[in-house]
Structure 1
Amino acid sequence: MIPGKPALWTPRKGSYQLREDDGIYYRDPNAAAYGDHPMEAAVVSVMKMNSPSSHGHIDLFACGSTLGNLLRFVRGVDHSFRMLVEVVGNTVHLIRRENSPKEQIIGVRGFGHVFTEENTTWEKDVTGSNSHQRIMRYRFDGLDMMVRFQGDGYVKLIDEEEHHHAPTAVGASPQPESLLLNALQALKIREEVRPTLEEALQTVTGGQIVPQDAMFDIKTRSINVKHRDTLGEELPRLWLAQVKRFILAHHTSGKFEDVEIQDVSENIEAWEADNQAALRRDGGADSDEESPEREGDNDLGEFTDDDSENFTACDETCGYCGRCATSLI
């Protein structure tokens, strides 16, 4: 559905008990829904909503996952990942690649999915939606890029009517030039050619454009880890997505109290200022260093910083459900 609309924040009042997450959760929901071409829906939506002259040339098309992995990489965070690189014309596409399009996150424990379902509503014009994907435009001092990310929901703004026709792309954007180029340069590449699979993408018109400053991100954590800086851990991702409203809901074995939305604009700005050195490290790279990956259309490469698999699992400090963190009380 284009443009679609995120779920509306409709919070429950007072304290309430929720059941634990018990559904099927895919590691990459976009690939699970459209495994042949996970990024096609995002590209088609941009083309349908904007004339070619309005979006101009795009150097790179990516998603929050691939850019998030690159951000962790340049910051020295130990985290295995893999992505495909496809060049179409002069645009590089970074495509998330898990072990399987329908790979599931096994052993999910916590209340994050159920909490989101209980406190947000898909409005009448987007009834039946499963997720809301947004496209943002960044400029990295010479690299024009579009980034897809998933929005948890939005809050109604007082001046919302003034924003209904505003573009979904955000004018302000992260600036460090060397973040992407140096990360790509340092990774290992495996070249590979894959056949094109024929399957038409079905699109419908519906929903309504929602301004970026109305978007929020949700995280739930056990009360046992309330002392941890959960917001600090999420700031790199919020910075990439330019989401400046954050909902952190603590629970006691699934019992939640009243929850408020935090404006984290200043936190994001402070994080960006504090991490300039890391974001700009190994400076001096320019777009010419991308030329090895730009030898013709439809060339595919695979970037990886580690050959090991990446699993999401419970551990003694994760804090999602609270059972594994009792020792931290």
Structure 2
Amino acid sequence: MLKERCLKGLGEILAEIPLESIQPRDGLITTKVNITSLTSYNLLPKPRKTIVVPGSPPIWSPPKTPRKLKPDEGRYPIDANRFVFRHCPLEPVFRALSLTRPRMRLTDIDLVTDRRNLRLLLAFVAGKKNVFRIDAEQVHNTTLFTSWTPRAVCYFRGEDGYGHEFERAATRPPRGFRDSIAHHRVIRYRFGDVNLILRHEVDACTGSAEEIRRVMPTSETRVTPTGYTVLKGGAFVAPSRVVEIKTRPAGKLVRVSRATEQLWFSQTPVLGIGVYDGTGTFTKIVERDVSRTGVLKTWEENHQVQLKMLAALLRAVVELGRTSGWKRYALVASDETVKIFNLADQVGQGLPVDLRYLWE
């Protein structure tokens, strides 16, 4: 069923990359090089069609324990960017870059992607038999990966854990950002021989909200040709303050290993874990600096083969995109093969024309 939904809207097969054909190159360095934090933004509710740049994540402020919470219930967007920016989910990345780094050009960037896509492809090269799709677009020499999900929103019925409710209880939104639905951060680094820009969601940041309060949203606004508003405001937080939040049932070993892969790709240094019992009472909250304690480096060392295979796969896709003349296409992984399909509809989607100056 999922595979059928992944194929919806796709045309002919353009190429295939079998798992067995992906060979890690000797001497390839997969330690991230030249990590640079570029920009960030907050997404406001969909009807407002607005982002705030650089915005601010919520402030990490875990409650005293024990603390009883209700389970997650209601409607949540699966991918907030795709939910708000339906025609081009990567558009806010480039809108934010054009505001905070107006002189930056993207001619030397091989790939722009969400963190989720790299995790899916890493699982593929590791031999996990997951079916997934990634939409792609070629802009000059740069490949754009867009996350794809079967639907835009999901519904929780009080039986699916406490992740969203714990985030609310353990964070404080800075004044001026109380109606934000998500905060995203954009970083750049070299992975293997691929120069990439990566977007990832930020759950929270450590420290005081005072500097955020001093730089509130201003009256400086830009209205884009696509009908969105870009509002300048907030403050860009230091990389060392970024926090990922997780929850775990009591009785299970509280380990960072299950989250380390996610933290590694975005170089997120702090992990906050809420531990709850069968009644929904959070009995313990653990905060760990996984960067300072060497957890991220250890994970990297233990996954060199998979990371080298991932770097080889990314390079193969980038080169195919550059030399093939493809415009918009999709990667579908199943049966130990990544198949690349042409999109049946090439009109009305993709990167807005006015943003292509970033490659000039």
Aligned AA (1:246): L
> CA 1:284–1:77 in 2, change beyond 3 Å: closer, same or farther?
closer
SS of the residue corresponding to residue 128 of structure 1 reads: coil
Question: If the length of structure 2 is used for normalisation, what is the TM-score?
Answer: 0.68
SS of the residue corresponding to residue 47 of structure 1 reads: helix
Within the alignment, does 1:73 sit opposite 2:116 as a pair?
no
Counterpart pick for 2:79 among 1, 18, 28: 28
1:305 alignment counterpart: 333
Aligned AA (1:24): R
How big is the alpha-carbon RMSD for the aligned residues of Structure 1 and Structure 2?
Answer: 2.8
SS of the residue corresponding to residue 156 of structure 1 reads: coil
Counterpart pick for 2:235 among 184, 208, 221: 208
SS of the residue corresponding to residue 73 of structure 2 reads: coil
Counterpart pick for 1:104 among 140, 147, 154: 154
List aligned pairs for 1:254-265, cutoff 5 A. 254-265=280-291
Counterpart pick for 2:185 among 134, 140, 154: 134
Larger displacement relative to structure 2 (244-253 or 54-63): 54-63
Contact 1:62 1:148 in 2 (8 A): yes
SS of the residue corresponding to residue 120 of structure 2 reads: helix
Contact 2:276 2:284 in 1 (8 A): no
SS of the residue corresponding to residue 288 of structure 2 reads: strand
Give, in angstroms, the shift of residue 257 of structure 1: 2.4
Rounded to whole Å, the distance in 1 between the matches of 2:250 and 2:315 is 47
> CA 1:274–1:105 in 2, change beyond 3 Å: closer, same or farther?
farther
Contact 2:90 2:146 in 1 (8 A): yes
Contact 1:87 1:296 in 2 (8 A): no
Give, in angstroms, the shift of residue 28 of structure 1: 1.5
Would you say how many aligned residue pairs link Structure 1 and Structure 2?
Answer: 269
2:256 alignment counterpart: 231
Gaps of 5+ in 2: 1-51, 215-224, 336-360
Larger displacement relative to structure 2 (34-43 or 289-298): 289-298
Gaps of 5+ in 1: 165-197, 308-329
Rounded to whole Å, the distance in 2 between the matches of 1:16 and 1:214 is 25
2:308 alignment counterpart: 280
List aligned pairs for 1:182-201, cutoff 5 A. 199-201=226-228
Contact 1:84 1:302 in 2 (8 A): yes
Within the alignment, does 1:294 sit opposite 2:322 as a pair?
yes
Question: If the length of structure 1 is used for normalisation, what is the TM-score?
Answer: 0.74
Deviation digits for residues 225-272 of structure 1 (CA, Å, limit 9, x no counterpart): x23x64211111111111121111111121012423111121111000
Aligned AA (1:221): R
Contact 2:271 2:290 in 1 (8 A): yes
Give, in angstroms, the shift of residue 32 of structure 1: 1.2
Contact 2:183 2:203 in 1 (8 A): yes
SS of the residue corresponding to residue 271 of structure 2 reads: strand
Aligned AA (2:249): S
Give, in angstroms, the shift of residue 134 of structure 1: 0.4
1:172 alignment counterpart: none
> CA 1:207–1:284 in 2, change beyond 3 Å: closer, same or farther?
closer
Deviation digits for residues 208-234 of structure 1 (CA, Å, limit 9, x no counterpart): 00011111111111113x23x642111
> CA 1:220–1:117 in 2, change beyond 3 Å: closer, same or farther?
same
1:268 alignment counterpart: 296
Deviation digits for residues 92-149 of structure 1 (CA, Å, limit 9, x no counterpart): 000111223x242565611110010011011114232111000010112432110000
> CA 1:298–1:4 in 2, change beyond 3 Å: closer, same or farther?
farther
Rounded to whole Å, the distance in 1 between the matches of 2:306 and 2:71 is 38
Rounded to whole Å, the distance in 2 between the matches of 1:147 and 1:92 is 12
Aligned AA (2:95): V
SS of the residue corresponding to residue 246 of structure 1 reads: strand
Contact 1:215 1:244 in 2 (8 A): yes
SS of the residue corresponding to residue 98 of structure 1 reads: coil
Percent identical among aligned pairs is 25
Give, in angstroms, the shift of residue 292 of structure 1: 2.9
Rounded to whole Å, the distance in 2 between the matches of 1:12 and 1:54 is 43
In terms of fraction of residues, the more strand-rich structure is 2
